[in-house]
A and B are shown apart, each in its own frame.
Chain A
């Protein structure tokens, strides 16, 4: 499977715990995006990387959230001191750069904070 891969698929955590999600993009894609989707809504942009550089961050990305993309390959999204409001599907996408390009999404990580 050469698509975007996300792990884990599901995560249940207690409020206050830290969680980390991983995204492996399509290998030749240098752009990587994180989105959050709550039930019944469309995805909302969180952050974007071009290679290893984090170029944009949404106001939704509070200081409890941090994302990295070391060496411009896989990316991790960490949420510290989780809150119940963090419960959502976290989606990763990747694309080529330059011009008009399609973004390809992974299956997502569903986070439930109890």
Chain B
């Protein structure tokens, strides 16, 4: 079963608007990563945030991490039609199988032109 849950499951916005996706996880983590997946394709790595970081930026992406709530959010600013894809968070646990990523079920983002 998936460790993470993502919210919302689907999001539809107009081009130029901001999109926010949330992710929750269950166990203590070493880091959390966000990926994008276009339909039927592989995953593209977007950003990694370590457990001792609270916020990270990369271009139009902003990721926050709240380890006390075991949650993270991904903000995409000034969205474009090309941002249409599924977005997944993936957590790397602090102990145990630290090398495997546990993925959430994803948020399907649709950006309307």
Contact = CB atoms under 8 A, between A and B. Distances in A.
Interface residues of B, number: 26
Contacts, number: 66
Interface of B: 2, 4, 30-31, 33, 35, 40-45, 48, 50, 88, 90, 92, 97, 99-106
14 contacts: A4-B42, A6-B42, A33-B99, A33-B100, A33-B101, A42-B105, A43-B90, A43-B101, A45-B100, A56-B100, A100-B48, A105-B43, A106-B42, A107-B42
Max chain B C-beta neighbours (<10 A), residue from A6, A43, A45: A43
Interface of A: 4, 6, 31, 33, 35, 40-45, 48, 50, 55-56, 58, 89, 91, 93, 100, 102-108, 110
